[in-house]
Amino acid sequence: MSGGSRCCFSLLTLLAEVLLFGSVALVVAWCLKYRGGFAWTEDPNLQFNLHPVLMVSGFIFFAGHAMLTYRQWRCCNHSTIKLVHTLYHIMAIPCIAVGLIAVFDFHNNKKPTPIPNLYSLHSWMGLVTVGLYGLQFIVGFFSFLFLLCCDTATASFRAALVPVHSSFGITTFFLAVATCLTGLTEKVLFTIRDTYQSLGEEPIVVNVFAMCLVLVAIVMSVLLLLDRFRQNTERPHPRQQAARGLSPSQ
């Protein structure tokens, strides 16, 4: 990268980290200070608070860092970057699983009347997000880790799969951000609807948290989609270069 691009990349990466950590910090602070904290099945209302915290941790924080590994870990070889990328996704999976259990338990154990499951736009978007994420993980795991055992034989197949895997990964991340925003809106309407217009402390925290998610999506899109921020390990496979009439050195 040129000096200007390197400076821009460093600032955007720093901003992305601030927003990713800030999003987790804000949702934890919101649940602790304004929503009563956390519990398990002994208190369904407090158990629900695990849902936003764990979903933001899994889909936004860990998944976001998983994608950023291909931008940040420039000093490592491609295999190491893939391993770190996979480890971040592995850390996201238990967060997502427990977060789903928490919200289903909250709905089913709600007193005096249980709440129906999977009726809202937020829940439908959540199902699509979870499904895409699971499919992405399975495809990525078997294509880029298991198939490394026969690297030469599968090189061209994996090279062709890279842009598809990358595009669906970015799409899933943006969908996760949109799902978080619809869930946040739904929670506000159910809990602080009457006081939201007064713009007190809790509404401000909620709005700032939502804006952090929006900014994360914007910054991540710039970092991930601009070619100038790609590193050498993301260059096309030699066979792809040959198909474009380029020599491997190009």
pLDDT band, residue 147 (cuts 50/70/90): low
In a domain? residue 139: yes
Q: In 3D, which of 43, 59, 141, 42 has the Cα closest to residue 100?
A: 59
Query: Helix axis angle, 201-225 relative to 3-33, nearest 10°?
Result: 150
Distance linking the first and last C-alpha atoms of the chain: 16
Looking at the domain assignment, is residue 246 inside a domain?
no
User: Is the residue at 192 inside a domain?
Assistant: yes
Q: What is the pTM of this model?
A: 0.86
* Residue 89 in domain: yes
- The pLDDT of residue 210 is above 80: yes
Reference 139, options 177, 98, 100, 167; nearest CA is 167
Confidence of residue 248 (pLDDT cuts 50, 70, 90): very low
Domains in the chain, number: 1
Q: In whole numbers, what is the pLDDT of the chain averaged over residues?
A: 87
pLDDT by residue (tens digit) across 95-143? 999 999 999 999 999 988 899 999 999 999 999 999 999 999 988 887 7
72: CATH: 1.20.120.1770
Q: Give the range of the structural domain holding residue 22, as residue numbers without chain letter.
A: 10-229
Quickly count: other Cβ atoms within 10 Å of residue 209's Cβ. Answer: 22
